[in-house]
Chains A and B, each alone.
Chain A
Amino acid sequence: MSIDDDLVEEIAKKYGYRPYMIKRYLEMFGKEETVKFLEANEQKLIPSLRCNTLRIDEEDFVNLFTKKNFVIEKISGISYGYRVFKTPFPLGATNEYLLGFYFLQSEASMIPVQVLDPKPGEIIIDLAAAPGGKTTQIAQFMKNKGVIVATDINRKRIKSLRSNLSRCGVYNSLIIRMDGRQISDLGIQADKVLLDAPCTGEGLIPRDPTRKTSRELKDILYLSDLQKELLTAAIQCLKPGGSLVYSTCAIAPEENEFVIDHALKNEDIQVKKMDFNRGSPAFTDAIFGKTLHPSIKEARRLYPHKDGTEGFFICKLQKVS
């Protein structure tokens, strides 16, 4: 596809992005949708939180918050999720936060665990788990029964993971500081795996505009390789028939569809339809010169201009044999 360089420069200058990003957006979305996407990235997203029922009953939480003049609204289709419209105090420093009654978590990032659907008593692996938003959500679904093996490689972030799990009353986790690519060495066979993969975070621009210029194409390619390796390792420690959710807050196909396509070609897995109706189907037509497996269309992409969330990608996989 031929992209007009002058148009790329003009849009990049107007919105403050690196030109290579604009060029890619134009190829992915076309001009009209690219502008809608960039405009939406300039808007603040509605903050959200997840009520932590390991610490407080959901009805009591709503009553407590209403009494304290918070204005919240239940997010449809996401268990325990609330949008926050008015806060008398900063949400990260209330007594209720310290009591672990809620976790500050974006709407999109609550979806992977909802799709994974952890059950009490299962063994779940959460790779790249820090700072623990999704780990605490998994424990909540499991009612603290079963085991979550939560790994992260970063020394600083794993401290924050431990603190968050403690604050939220998560008592069924086994935290291990390690490179997730070596997870199969542990000899654990999991019922389910969550891989919320390290990514460029290109979808987070509405929250962090520095990401308009802080990443280069080589970062996308580097992370794409890492994501493929992590997904391969994650599949290896999954029981036959077990399910895996892969997600990122990136919008580059190299970090999402290409990673799934690579796994479909090399591992005994299949894409599963998600019981979740939001977002747009993932790319399957030729994109950046690559034709992808048609089943990838069951994966979902979320965008700020269409879904009111940060950019996000979610795919559910099942181990076949």
Chain B
Amino acid sequence: MITFRLSTQEELKFIQNAIDKLFGEKIAEKFIQNKHLIIGEGKWKEIFLVSDKMITILEAMANKKQPYSLGMQIGELDKNKKFKLSLEAVFEIVKFTSHLIKLTAKGAQTILYGRNISFSQVDKICYDDAKEGDYTILLDENGFPIGLGKILHDLAKMQLIRFKICIKNIIDLGWYLRKGE
């Protein structure tokens, strides 16, 4: 059974910090704006971003029925309080962050099959200070966001070992085919 409630100030702060840590300062503020965070609490916590109007509807419902989902699911907090960003959030945060890496067409297909990326499949690193441990939004050859990756090595050194895995696939749009429907 999942129950839904407004986030506490502490939870809001925690999620804002988690997003800023992933993508840079003030990104959470631009992303969340004046919307509200709803927490769906079951075995783990799901976090949803909703409008004022959605809150009005939830109040009118007065807990007569629990939602299955609502607004934009921006991520989950697992048992260890680790924040996992959703695909929906990736699609919105791409508008604000500079943490972007453009892949080749082959790289894009590799990501969409749920696999990791070698340097040979990277077309362009779109920001200057990319470093090991960074989370970055992965773009396909046309510049559309297709997933989230984590940089595993110092990319400057990867030029020499082009076929070694350098970006770990965290989430990708292929999920919709593999698990979504």
- Chain A residues whose CB sits within 8 angstroms of the CB of B67 once the complex forms: 174-176
A149's closest neighbor in chain B, by CB?
B57
How many pairs, one residue from A and one from B, have CB atoms within 8 Å of each other in the complex? 92
B22 located at the interface, meaning its Cβ lies under 8 Å from any Cβ of chain A in the complex? no
- Chain B residues whose CB sits within 8 angstroms of the CB of A121 once the complex forms: 53
Given A98-B173, A99-B173, A166-B88, decide whether A175 and B64 contact each other with a Cβ distance below 8 A: no
Q: How far is the CB of B4 from chain A (nearest CB, A)?
A: 10
Interface string of B54-72 (1 = CB under 8 A from A): 1001101110111111111
Q: How far is the CB of B62 from chain A (nearest CB, A)?
A: 7
Select the stretch in B7-15, B140-148, B150-158 that faces chain A: B140-148
A242 located at the interface, meaning its Cβ lies under 8 Å from any Cβ of chain B in the complex? no
How distant is the Cα of A93 from the Cα of B176 in the complex, in angstroms? Answer: 10
- Chain A residues whose CB sits within 8 angstroms of the CB of B173 once the complex forms: 95, 98-99, 167
B interface residue numbers (CB < 8 A to A): 49, 51, 53-54, 57-58, 60-62, 64-73, 86-88, 91, 108, 112, 140, 142, 144, 146, 173-174, 176-177, 180-181
A131, A160, A173: most-surrounded residue (chain B CB, <10 A): A173
- Chain B residues whose CB sits within 8 angstroms of the CB of A166 once the complex forms: 73, 86-88, 176, 180
How distant is the Cα of A315 from the Cα of B140 in the complex, in angstroms? Answer: 43
A172 located at the interface, meaning its Cβ lies under 8 Å from any Cβ of chain B in the complex? yes
CB pair B68 A147 closer than 8 Å: no
- Chain A residues whose CB sits within 8 angstroms of the CB of B174 once the complex forms: 98
28 A/B residue pairs, CB under 8 Å, sorted by A: A64-B142, A95-B112, A95-B144, A95-B146, A95-B173, A98-B146, A98-B174, A98-B176, A160-B180, A160-B181, A162-B69, A164-B181, A165-B69, A166-B180, A171-B49, A171-B71, A172-B71, A174-B54, A174-B57, A175-B68, A176-B65, A185-B64, A186-B60, A186-B65, A187-B60, A187-B64, A188-B57, A188-B61
CB pair B180 A163 closer than 8 Å: yes
B174's closest neighbor in chain A, by CB?
A98
- Chain B residues whose CB sits within 8 angstroms of the CB of A99 once the complex forms: 144, 146, 173
A158 located at the interface, meaning its Cβ lies under 8 Å from any Cβ of chain B in the complex? yes
A interface residue numbers (CB < 8 A to B): 55, 64, 93, 95, 98-99, 121, 123, 131, 145-147, 149, 158-160, 162-167, 169, 171-178, 185-188
CB pair A98 B177 closer than 8 Å: yes
- Chain A residues whose CB sits within 8 angstroms of the CB of B65 once the complex forms: 176, 178, 185-186
How distant is the Cα of A76 from the Cα of B39 in the complex, in angstroms? Answer: 43
Q: How far is the CB of A178 from chain B (nearest CB, A)?
A: 6
Contact partner, A93, options B69, B73, B87, B177, Cβ 8 Å: B177
CB pair B53 A146 closer than 8 Å: yes
A131, A145, A171: most-surrounded residue (chain B CB, <10 A): A171
Q: How far is the CB of B161 from chain A (nearest CB, A)?
A: 28
4 nearest A-B residue pairs (beta carbon): A163-B180, A98-B173, A171-B72, A175-B68
Q: How far is the CB of A185 from chain B (nearest CB, A)?
A: 6
CB pair B57 A169 closer than 8 Å: no
Q: How far is the CB of A12 from chain B (nearest CB, A)?
A: 36
